[in-house]
Amino acid sequence: MKRTKSISGFTLVNGFIMIVVVLFTLYPFIYLVAQSFSSEAAIYNGEVSFFPVEFTTKTYEVILSKPDFFRYYGNTVLYSVLGTVIAVASTAVMSYPLSKAKLRLNKVFIPFVLFTMYFGGGLIPNYILVAKALGMRDTIWAIVIPGAISAFNVILMKTFFANIPNELEEAGRVDGLDVFGIFTKIILPLSKPILATITLFVIVGMWNNWFGPSLYLQSKEKWPIALYLKQIIDNAVSPTEIGAASEETSQIAATVKSAAMVLTSLPIICMYPFVQRYFVQGMMIGAVKG
Amino acid sequence: MAAYSQEHAADASPLWKHVRKEWKLYSFLVIPLLYFVIFKYAPMLGNVIAFRKYRGGPNIFGSEWVGLQYFEMFMKDPTFWRAFFNDLTLSVSYLLVKFPLTLLFALLLHEIRWMKWKKFVQTVSYLPHFISMVIVAGMVKEMVSLTGPINALLAKLGMEPIAFISLPEWFPTLYVTSGIWQSLGWGTILYLAAMTAINTELYEAAKIDGASRFRQALHVTIPGILPTVMVLLILDIGSILGSNFEKILLLYNPLTYETADVISTYVYRMGITGGNFSFATAVGLFEGIIGLILVTIANEVSKRTTKSSLW
Amino acid sequence: MKKVRKAPVMAVLALMLAFMAACSSNGNDDNGAGNDTSKPSESANANNGEAADYTFGEGQTFRSSEPVTYSMMYSDHENYPYKEDWRLWSAIQEKTNVSFDLSITARTEYENQKSLLVNSGDAPYIIPKTYDESAFVASGQIVPVSDWVQYMPNYMKAVSDWGMEEDLKAKLKEDGKYYVLPGMWEVAGGGYSYIIRKDVFEAAGVDVLGQEANWTYEEFYEAMKKVKEHTGAKYVISDQFKGESTLNIAAVQYGVTGGWGISNGLAFDHDKQEFYFADASEDFKAYLQYFNKLVQEGIMDPESFTQEDDTARAKFFKGDTYVINGNYQLLSDFKSKMQVDGELYMIVQPGGPKGKLQIETSRLENGIMIAQRALDELGEEDFIKMLRFIDWFWYSDEGQTLALWGVEGETYTKDAEGRIVLNKDIYYNGMNEGAPKQLNVDYGFAGGMFAYGGTAKLKTSKMTEGEQDYFNRILSTREPRKLAPPIMATAEESEQMNLIMTPLIDYIKTMTLKFITGQESLDKWDSYKAQVEANGSTRYTQMANDVFQKTKSKLGY
C-alpha cells in the first residue's frame, strides 16, 4: 500500500520534470517561429513570447522569392550528399578490416587511428595543409574531404561489425564469395543501423558546417547556407540584398534572422525523427562494447 | 593494387606470410590509412612551424628555426593566461553542471514505464544536438536580447533589463546553459545503452530483497553503468582545455573577452585574423599537449580505481 | 578563383611532393621582400609611350593589344552585391582589354581571407581595399611597391602635382620603402561627424547654425542636455557602428586614440619628438569621463556600443533619438528613411581639449597591395605592364572618373562647364532621389573598391550642395593637425610589436566600453593603468621610440 503510493508520487514528479525538460528544449524553437511571423513593432517592443503577434509572412515571401537563398541551400545539399557518400563509404571500408581480430597488424593500426582522437594538428597546420599544400582552397574538396573519416565513427562501426556473427561470413565463403563480396553482400546489408547512424552524424555535420567553409571558401557563390546564415545573424546581409523593397526593410531586418534560422534547420528537424530509430540502435550496439 | 608492399617487407617472416594471406582485407585499409597519414598526421607534423618561422612558403614547414621563441612569447602574454584560465573555468563549470544533470536525466528516463512518452521525451531532447552551432548561437542571442523573452520576463517581474550578451559576468552562464540545452538528451544515449545491458536478474534480486526503486537505482543501475560513466568522464577531462570553440567564437565580443576568450579563440585571433601563423601554432600545440597529458592521467587514475579505461 | 580542381588523388601526390620539397629545400628559395628586386631594367623606363604590346602614359588610355587577365581580390559589399554583368567590368575591358580573375569575398570575411591568402603565399596579384599593410610586410609576400612607382606616370604626376610626398611618408616601413599604393585625393574629405535633428535642437533653444563652429564636446553636451530636457527623450543619442566612429572622432580632439582609429594607442609629442602611450594618459581619462557622463545622465544610450546598426537607425528614424554618427552619404540615405518629419543636419565635428581639429588630415585612402607572386610569375616586363594598368585605372583622371561615374553618355553627361551630371534615372549619394536605378547597385560604379581617389574637382563632383557646404564649414572652422610619424620597424620588430599590441588593444577596447557604460567605475582608473602597463604598454612605447630614433633621419625629423 505504502509502496504503490510512493511509486505514483515518484511518477508524477518524474512526469513533471520531463515536461519541464521538453519545454526547456522546445521553447527556443517556438520562440523563433513565433518571431519570424511577427511584426517589427511587436518584436522591438518585446511582445512576442509563444505565438506570432500581428501575423505576417512577408519575410518568408521575400527570402523565398530570391534565387540567392536557394543557391546557398543547393550548395549545402551538394556538400552534404557528396561529403556523406565519401565519409560513409570510407568509414565502412576502413572499419571492416579493423574489426577482424585475426588481422595482426590491427594491433598497430587501431592505436594509430585512436591516437587521432586525443591529439591533432592545430588550426593553422590544418589550414596550411588543406589550403596550400593540397591546393584545395576555394574548392568543394576542402569541405568534403578533410573531415571524411573520424576515429570515433570508425570505432563505432568497427564494434558493430565485430558483433556480426562469424558464421554468416563463413556461409558466404562457402557460397564462393570473396572478401569484397562478403563485405558488400553480407556485412553491409546487416549493418543498416550503424550505416544510418554514421550517415546521420555526417550529414548533420556537413549541413551545419560553417567554420570550414569560412576558412576555405572565398567565393561567396560557393558558400553553404550555414555560412550565409551566419552573415545574416551578424547583420552583414542588408535587407535590400535579400530583396526587400525599401518600405519593407525594417520589417525584414527585424525578422530575417529568425526566419532564416527556421528555414535552415527545417530539413534537419524534419528528417531526424525518421532516422532516430536507427541511430539509437546503432549508437547502442556500437557503444556498449566500445 | 600493390597493397601488400605497403607494410613491412620483413622478408619471409611469419608476419609477411600473414599479410600475404590476408592481403585482400588489408588492401581495404590502404586509402583510409593514407587518409589518416595526410589529414591527421601531416598536420601534427605541421606543428613544427611552432618552432620555425613561417613565411608563406614555398616551404610549408617554415623557413628557419627559432626554437622556443614563440613559446616564450605567449608564456609572457597575460592574454594567453587569461584565455587559459577562462578555458578551465568554462569547461569545469560546464562539466560540473552537465555531468550530474545528464546522469540524473538518464536515470529518470530509465524509470519511465510509459514507452510512448519516454520515446517522445527522448526524441525531443536529442533534437538540439543536431542544430547548427550558428543557429544555437543565434538563438541564444535572440533569447537574451533586450527585446527577447528573457528580458520580457524580467520586466514582468519588475526587474531592470539585462544586456546579457555584453556582460562578461553572464557569459559562463550563457555558455553552460546553452551547452546543457544542446547536450542534455544526447548525453543520456550511452547511459541508457549501458542500462539496457544490465542483467535484469539483478533487479529481480533487489526487488526480492525489498529494495525501493531509489535503492535499485543506487545499488544496481549506477554500479552497472559505472564503466560508461568513467569512460565519458575521462574523455571530458581530456578536453578540459577544449571549450567549445565554435560556440564561443559566435557568441563572444570584445566586451566579454574577459571571461569568454579561450585558448582556441585566442589562437584564431592571433593566427587567422592576425596572420601570426607560427605564434598561433605554438599556442595550439601547447593546448594539444596539455590535453594529451590530462587524458592520459585521467585514464591511469580510472584504470587503477575503477578498472575502466580507454586503452 | 576559377582554377582547375585538383582531384583528391592528385592532392595526395602533391602532399608527398611537398614533404620531399620540405625536406630538401630549407627555405633557400624563399623570396624575401625586395632582396631580389634588382633594379628593373632601363628598357621600359619611359614615362610616356608605347611598350611592346600596350599603350600607356599620362593622359593616355592604357590599352593592351592582347587581352590580359589579372587576378584580384574583391570585397563584396552587401549594399551593392557583386554582379557579373555590371557595366563596370565591360567598360574596363572595352577601354583597356583587361579583365579580372576575381576572388570574391564577402566584406565581413575580407580581412580574414586576405590575411590567410597573403600569409600562406597564395594571394591574387592585386589586393585592393587594404587599410593597414603593416602586418603583411614581414611575410615577404608583398612587393615593396615604392621601388616600382617610377613606372607609373599618373601616380607620379599626382604625387608631385598634389604634393603628396609628405603624406606618403606615413606609409614608409623600416627599409624606407612602402608596400601599398594608397588611394589619393587632392584634398582631404569631411569624414564622419554627427547627424542631428536640427529641428529638435532648435526647438530646444539651441542655435545650431550660429554655434556649431565653436562647439567643443562639452558644449555639444550642453546642447544635447537641453534637447533631453526639452523633449524628455530617454536618450538623445543612440549610436551606430557600435560607437566606433564616435569614439574615433572624439579621440582626435582629446589627443588619444579610440574606436576605428584606435591603432596602437600611441600619440606623438611633436615638441619632445617622441611617442607616448596616450590611451592610459590623463587625456584618455578625460575622454572616458566625458562619455561616461553622457551615459550616466541618460544622454547617450549605453546600447550604443553593442547594438546593431539597424537598431540604432530604427530609433533615429522613428524619432526616439536625435543624434547619430554618420558620414554625408548616410545623411542623404537617412533623409529618405525618416519615419517622422524632421530636418537632418550634419554638424562639424566638435572640438576638444586639443583644439578644434580636422579629423581627416590624411588625403590618403585605403590602397592596393601587390603580391610578390605577381612579380615572380609575370616577370618584370609584364609586371610593369600590370602596374601601368593599375596606374591608369586608379590614378588617371580618366580611370578615376570611370570608376566613379561610369561611361560618359551612358551614366553621366558633362555640362557646358565640364561638370559631371549624373543621368536623371540613376541615384547616387543623395543625387536624383527616387530614381529607379542606382549607380553602384546596378552598374558597379562608385563602389568602395575602386572609386576612392582623384582631383578636388572629382571629389566635389560627387557631393551634393549640402555636402559641399559641410565640407567648406570644416575647412573654414577646423584646423589641420600634425600627424605622427610612421613606425618604421623591421619585420622582426613589427612581429614582436604586433604580438604585444593585439592583446593590449583588446584590453583597452574592453575597458573603454566598461568605463563608459559604467560597468567599471572610473575610481578603478589606477588599476586600469597598472593593467595596461602589465600588458606591455611601456615596452611597446619604448620599442616605438627606439625605432623612431633609428629611422628619424629618413623621415626628415
Mean residue pLDDT across chain A: 86
Q: Count CB-CB contacts under 10 A for residue A240.
A: 18
pLDDT at A247 (0 to 100): 63
Q: Are residues B121 and B164 in the same domain?
A: yes
Q: What angle do CA C370, C374, C376 make, to 5 degrees?
A: 130
Binary contact (B277, C119; C-beta < 8 A): yes
Tell me the per-residue pLDDT of B191-246, one tens digit each, with 9 for 90 and over. Answer: 888 888 888 888 888 888 888 878 888 888 888 888 888 888 887 887 777 788 99
| Three cell numbers, residue A66 | 530570391
What CATH number is given for C193-357+484-555 in this structure? 3.40.190.10
Domain contains B57: no
User: Mean per-residue pLDDT for C211-226?
Assistant: 94
Q: Under CATH, to which class is C47-185+363-456 assigned? A: alpha beta
Domain contains B43: yes
pLDDT at C20 (0 to 100): 41
pLDDT at A3 (0 to 100): 46
Query: Is the pLDDT reported for residue B174 higher than 70?
Result: yes
pLDDT at B11 (0 to 100): 42
Q: Are residues B38 and B186 in the same domain?
A: no
8 Å CB contact between C432 and C424: yes
Q: Using 50, 70 and 90 to split pLDDT, how confident is the model at B298? A: confident
Q: Using 50, 70 and 90 to split pLDDT, how confident is the model at B40? A: very high
Q: Are residues B42 and B103 in the same domain?
A: no
Place of cell 561489425: A161
pLDDT at C2 (0 to 100): 38
Size of interface A-B (CB pairs under 8 A): 251
Mean residue pLDDT across chain C: 85
Name which residue leads in pLDDT, B183 or C5. Answer: B183
Helices C465-477 and C328-335, axial angle in degrees (round to 10)? 140
CA B68 to chain centre: 29
Name which residue leads in pLDDT, B244 or C237. Answer: C237
Q: Are residues B132 and B175 in the same domain?
A: yes
Mutate to test the interface with B, among A13, A100, A103, A124 (most CBs of B within 10 A): A124
Q: Are residues B17 and B95 in the same domain?
A: no
Chain B environment of C513 (Cβ under 8 Å): 254-255
Do C47-185+363-456 and C193-357+484-555 have matching folds? yes
Domain contains B60: no
H/E stretch holding C413: strand C412-414
Binary contact (B311, A94; C-beta < 8 A): no
Q: Who among C81, C120, C309 is closest to A132 (CB)?
A: C120
Tell me which residue of B28, B25, B4 sits closest to B16, measured CA to CA.
B4
Give the neighbours of chain A: at least 3 Cβ pairs within 8 Å. B, C
Tell me which residue of C544, C535, C543, C539 sits closest to C511, measured CA to CA.
C535
Q: CA-to-CA distance for B291 and B293, rounded, in angstroms?
A: 5
Q: CA-to-CA distance for B62 and B67, rounded, in angstroms?
A: 12
pLDDT at A209 (0 to 100): 92
Tell me the per-residue pLDDT of C130-165, one tens digit each, with 9 for 90 and over. Answer: 888 877 887 788 999 999 999 999 999 999 999 888
Q: Who among C8, C11, C78 is closest to A238 (CB)?
A: C78
pLDDT at C541 (0 to 100): 95
Query: Is the pLDDT reported for residue A107 higher than 70?
Result: yes
Query: Which residue(s) pair with C364 in the sheet?
Result: C184
Binary contact (C11, A236; C-beta < 8 A): no
pLDDT at B38 (0 to 100): 94
Question: Residue ranges per domain, chain C?
Answer: 47-185+363-456, 193-357+484-555
Torsion on CA atoms B149, B154, B158, B162, rounded to nearest 10: -110
For C347-363, the DSSP string reads: EPPPBBTTBSB-S----
C-chain residue closest to B147, CA distance: C311
Q: Are residues B172 and B266 in the same domain?
A: yes
Asked which of A65-74, A252-261, C315-324, C491-500 is least confident by mean pLDDT, the reply is C491-500
Binary contact (B141, A233; C-beta < 8 A): yes
Q: CA-to-CA distance for B80 and B286, rounded, in angstroms?
A: 11
Binary contact (A265, B135; C-beta < 8 A): yes
pLDDT at C39 (0 to 100): 42
Tell me the per-residue pLDDT of C84-125, one tens digit each, with 9 for 90 and over. Answer: 999 999 999 999 999 999 988 888 888 888 988 888 888 999
What are residue B242's phi and psi, to 5 degrees? Answer: -125, 60
Q: CA-to-CA distance for B142 and B146, rounded, in angstroms?
A: 9
Mutate to test the interface with C, among B39, B49, B63 (most CBs of C within 10 A): B63
Name which residue leads in pLDDT, C40 or B88. Answer: B88
User: Mean per-residue pLDDT for A220-226?
Assistant: 90
Q: Using 50, 70 and 90 to split pLDDT, how confident is the model at B83? A: very high
Asked which of A107-111, A118-122, A195-199, B272-276 is least confident by mean pLDDT, the reply is B272-276
Q: Using 50, 70 and 90 to split pLDDT, how confident is the model at C70? A: very high
Domain contains B55: no
Q: Are residues B108 and B169 in the same domain?
A: yes
Tell me the per-residue pLDDT of C10-68, one tens digit each, with 9 for 90 and over. Answer: 444 444 444 444 443 333 333 333 333 334 444 444 445 556 688 898 888 999 999 99
Q: Are residues B157 and B270 in the same domain?
A: yes
Binary contact (C118, B270; C-beta < 8 A): no
Most confident of B2-16, B124-138, B266-280: B124-138
Binary contact (A218, C78; C-beta < 8 A): no
8 Å CB contact between C57 and C156: no
3 state SS of C11 = helix
Q: Who among B42, B54, B273 is closest to C112 (CB)?
A: B273
Integer CA distances (angstroms), C144 to A250, C74, C185, C237, in order: 46, 21, 22, 44
Domain contains B44: yes
Q: Count CB-CB contacts under 10 A for residue B218.
A: 14
Place of cell 626554437: B67
Domain contains B121: yes
Domain contains B67: no
A63-289 CATH choice from 1.20.1340.10, 2.60.40.10, 1.10.260.40, 1.10.3720.10: 1.10.3720.10
User: Mean per-residue pLDDT for A218-247?
Assistant: 78
The proportion of chain C whose per-residue pLDDT surpasses 90, expressed as a percent, equals 51
pLDDT at C51 (0 to 100): 60
8 Å CB contact between B253 and B269: no
Q: Which residues of A touch C (CB under 8 A)?
A: 44, 127-129, 131-141, 145, 214-215, 218-221, 231, 234-238, 240-241, 246, 249-250, 253
| Three cell numbers, residue C485 | 610619424
| Three cell numbers, residue A98 | 579493423
Binary contact (C6, A141; C-beta < 8 A): yes
Q: Where in chain A is the domain with CATH 1.10.3720.10?
A: 63-289
Query: Is the pLDDT reported for residue C237 higher than 50?
Result: yes
Domain count, chain B: 2
Q: Are residues B268 and B155 in the same domain?
A: yes
Domain enclosing residue B27, as ranges: 3-50
